[in-house]
Amino acid sequence: MMNSSTPNTATATVNDLFQTAETNGLDEAIERGRVALLARQQQDGHWCFELESDATITAEYILMMHFMDEIDDVLQEKMARYLRDTQVKDAHGGWPQYYGGDIDLSCTIKAYFALKAAGDDPEAEHMRMARKAILALGGAAKANVFTRILLALFEQVPWRATPYVPVEIMLLPRWFPFHIEKISYWARTTLVPLTVLCSLKAKAANPRKIHIRELFVTPPEQEHHYFVRGGLLNRTFLVLDKIGRFADRFIPNSVRRLAVKKAEAWFMPRLNGEDGIGAIFPPMVNSYEAMNLLGYPKDHPARQTCLRSIQKLVVHRADGSAYCQPCVSPIWDTVWSALTLMHTSGDDATQDAIARSTDWLTSKQELELKGDWAVQAPDLAPGGWAFQYNNAYYPDIDDTAVVAALLHIQDRRRGESGRHRINTDRAMDWMIGLQSKNGGFAAFDANNTHYHLNAIPFADHGALLDPPTEDVTGRVVAALGVLARPQDQESLRRGIDYLRSTQLEDGSWWGRWGSNYIYGTWSVLAGLALAGEDPRQPYIRKSIEWLRSRQHADGGWGETNDSYIDAALRGTNRNVSTPQSTAWAVLAQLAMGEAQSDSVKRGITFLLAHQQTSGALAGLWYHPSHNAPGFPRVYYLKYHGYTAYFPLWALTRYRQLTQSAAA
């Protein structure tokens, strides 16, 4: 971890240090970063950095192999090594949701189960430590819903320990209070094959007969408190859950067969080749296991392809360990890398790299298939980009906004105005067609705001929906400002109104897809700047002052993921600065014309001082922290690219603005 305890200094001293760093180091640092970033570009023009989560995905991969009786012992041992390495043995003894976080019960249960399946002795010190931590938190009966479903599939808990999720939901009409089209894309793709597994009471092969009864305070068959009772709506759903479970035995076999067929007919066309259904790990595994349950033989092409989509997520490390990514992020990494490189150098190699990246991105635009989003906008033509290599049913509004802006900027820079006009017009029309009623933009759908569904027993993770968010809206507002199409002005106004309405009392904005308020505030301020908002307005000055109030003594910024749990922690990180948070805070201020401020200069000094100078990451930056939520409070991610391109972009943007001011 980097030293973040540098004492505060007087302004004059800071300026002296900065002037020295700027004179001696800024150009050299940018050059080192440029070379390092270019070296990571793929031959076809794209970038794709590792995307790491917590221990759950890797643990689930091991358990999937035992569920299917398809155990790769070599890979299993590599993954077991990763799990052992990520256990917090010097503190709580379990596994957290993110670096530096408290123990997470469900994550720890899965990791323990996976290690035991991999052959670790339950009496080994690390296993005893984890078991003690689990029992101290109430045992495996207190795990979250998804973990209890996994345990039911392995016959470790009775099915009454899980929510009632009948496959017959596939037969419900759209007007019904619950419908798969009313939940988010990630919940939809995960749930549909899962209903098949749950309704047919699938059983893991579990060839080595691994059990975890030692993790229960009360024997699982005697436990009667699997569900936490919340408010009135939650209690109502729990009653309905019991009624549904009782009525399940009376469902005619013909109805169940019809529902299973409808579920199968839904998820099979969405398998998405070797990129996988939804291009995310959970639905891939559920679909793979459901195909096995439905009788697809091992050599069936669809089943083999689904397995390859899962296998392609595995990262093998030089130290002999391996882990499984939840998905991959090539579109996102490529567009930010290209924007970062744009002002690093005018040399042919750099400009050619940017051109190749835009050509690659252009080839990935979805212009034909109407995905699930079309339920809300059936007459809208497709035109978005996904987050992953290919995910045609689920293009991402966030990615689409940044790619459209990049293509427009690149055409303007190269004097080729209009070269990508058809691409950017299709993208902008598609995004505007998915603007929600409140003026904001979500990641994948419009008006996905059926908040009552977060009270159902299945949704204890609170991540069933995809409502509009400040950071995505900020990015769309930025794209609208960059392209400045006359027909988009009303949409832009509504977007800005949404952002103004969601600003918090202290001046910050919440971040849904990055950690957290620093990310959200940068996302919004960057968008407002490109949309032409006057930076002198009180609400913008308030946000700038909030950012400055969170700057550390060493000149950097950092934010703990605990701020998703306790909003009072927003913009704080126990005085530990990180490269990505510092870059976002600097970029936010630069967007609003603050290049000459002491705050920005101190942030730049921090980034210059913490660039890696040797080893595999030479020229880039590093910090072990998770820097984004998959789902706030539930699941977090570490974008390895965030410490590669955002700090470099902050340096290049600073140099560009200061040189322009001097000229």
**Residue 461 pLDDT level (bands cut at 50, 70, 90):** low
Going by the DSSP 8-state scheme, the letter that residue 465 receives in this structure is -
The three-state secondary structure class of 637 is: strand
Q: Tens of pLDDT along 208-236? A: 999 999 999 999 999 988 877 667 766 77
Q: Is the dihedral of CA 557, 562, 563, 566 positive or negative?
A: negative
The three-state secondary structure class of 231 is: coil
β-strand partners of 637: 628
Q: Tens of pLDDT along 134-185? A: 999 999 999 999 999 999 999 999 999 998 889 999 999 999 988 999 999 9
**Residue 15 pLDDT level (bands cut at 50, 70, 90):** low
Q: What is the pTM of this model?
A: 0.94
pLDDT surpassing 50 at residue 7: no
Residue 178 burial (CB count, 10 A): 15
The residue among 453 and 477 whose pLDDT is bigger is 477
Q: Tens of pLDDT along 290-299? A: 999 999 999 9
- For tokens 């744009």, the residue is 342
What pLDDT score was predicted for residue 379?
97
Residues 6+ apart with CB under 8 A from 89: 126, 129
**Residue 494 pLDDT level (bands cut at 50, 70, 90):** very high
**Residue 5 pLDDT level (bands cut at 50, 70, 90):** very low
Structure-block tokens of residue 234: 């939650």
Q: Tens of pLDDT along 305-321? A: 999 999 999 999 999 99
Cα angle: 114, vertex 120, 121; to 5 degrees: 130
Sequential DSSP letters for 239-293:
HHHHHHHHHGGGS-HHHHHHHHHHHHHHHSTT--GGG-GGGSHHHHHHHHHHHHH
The residue among 10 and 111 whose pLDDT is bigger is 111
The three-state secondary structure class of 481 is: helix
Least confident of 22-36, 119-133, 587-601: 22-36
Are 330 and 48 contacting, i.e. CB atoms less than 8 angstroms apart? yes
- Average confidence (pLDDT) over 484-492: 98
Are 626 and 514 contacting, i.e. CB atoms less than 8 angstroms apart? no
Could you tell me what percent of the chain has a pLDDT over 90?
88
Q: Is the dihedral of CA 127, 327, 464, 191 positive or negative?
A: negative
Are 317 and 336 contacting, i.e. CB atoms less than 8 angstroms apart? no
- Average confidence (pLDDT) over 599-612: 98
Could you tell me what percent of the chain has a pLDDT over 70?
95
Least confident of 46-55, 155-164, 323-332: 155-164
Going by the DSSP 8-state scheme, the letter that residue 101 receives in this structure is P
- How many whole angstroms separate alpha carbon 277 and alpha carbon 191? 12
What pLDDT score was predicted for residue 503?
98
Q: Contacts by 480-489 with C-beta closer than 8 Å and gap 24+?
A: 480/428, 480/531, 481/527, 481/529, 481/530, 481/531, 481/532, 482/405, 482/408, 482/409, 482/530, 483/404, 483/405, 483/408, 483/424, 483/428, 485/425, 485/428, 488/428, 488/432
Q: Which of 574, 568, 567 is nearest to 552 (CA)?
A: 574
What pLDDT score was predicted for residue 632?
94
Report the chain's mean pLDDT, rounded to a whole number.
94
Residues 6+ apart with CB under 8 A from 526: 474, 478, 587, 588, 591
Q: Which of 506, 545, 547 is nearest to 523 (CA)?
A: 547
- How many whole angstroms separate alpha carbon 574 and alpha carbon 346? 40
- How many whole angstroms separate alpha carbon 629 and alpha carbon 572? 16
Sequential DSSP letters for 194-251:
HHHHHHTT-----TT----GGG-SS-TTT----S---SHHHHHHHHHHHHHHHHGGGS
What Å distances lie between residue 469 and 240, 380, 632, CA to CA? Answer: 31, 22, 13
The three-state secondary structure class of 158 is: coil
Q: Is the dihedral of CA 331, 570, 447, 168 positive or negative?
A: positive
Structure-block tokens of residue 251: 């469902």
What pLDDT score was predicted for residue 1?
34
What pLDDT score was predicted for residue 341?
98
β-strand partners of 631: 635
Are 640 and 470 contacting, i.e. CB atoms less than 8 angstroms apart? no
| Phi, psi (degrees; rounded to nearest 5) at 237 | -65, -35
- Average confidence (pLDDT) over 29-40: 98
- How many whole angstroms separate alpha carbon 301 and alpha carbon 312? 16
Widest CA span of the chain, in angstroms?
80
State which H helix or E strand residue 339 sits in: helix 330-341
Structure-block tokens of residue 113: 């189960």
What pLDDT score was predicted for residue 19?
55
What pLDDT score was predicted for residue 454?
77
* SS3 letters across 107-154: HHHHHHHHHHHCCCCCCCHHHHHHHHHHHHCCCHHHCCHHHHHHHHHC
What pLDDT score was predicted for residue 6?
36
- How many whole angstroms separate alpha carbon 362 and alpha carbon 246? 53
pLDDT surpassing 80 at residue 11: no
What pLDDT score was predicted for residue 12?
42
- Average confidence (pLDDT) over 653-662: 91
Residue 542 burial (CB count, 10 A): 15
Are 606 and 580 contacting, i.e. CB atoms less than 8 angstroms apart? no
Q: Please report how the helices 579-591 and 538-549 are oriented relative to each other, as an axis angle in degrees rounded to 10.
A: 150
State which H helix or E strand residue 349 sits in: helix 348-363
Q: Which of 456, 434, 460, 415 is nearest to 377 (CA)?
A: 434
β-strand partners of 1: none
Q: In the sheet where 635-639 sits, what is the strand order? A: 51-52, 635-639, 628-631
Q: Tens of pLDDT along 230-283? A: 677 667 767 777 787 878 888 999 999 999 999 999 999 999 999 999 999 999
β-strand partners of 316: 322
What pLDDT score was predicted for residue 2?
37
What pLDDT score was predicted for residue 8?
39
pLDDT surpassing 50 at residue 90: yes
Active site members: 398
CA 255 to centroid of chain Cα atoms: 37
Q: Tens of pLDDT along 612-648? A: 999 999 999 999 999 999 999 999 999 999 999 999 9
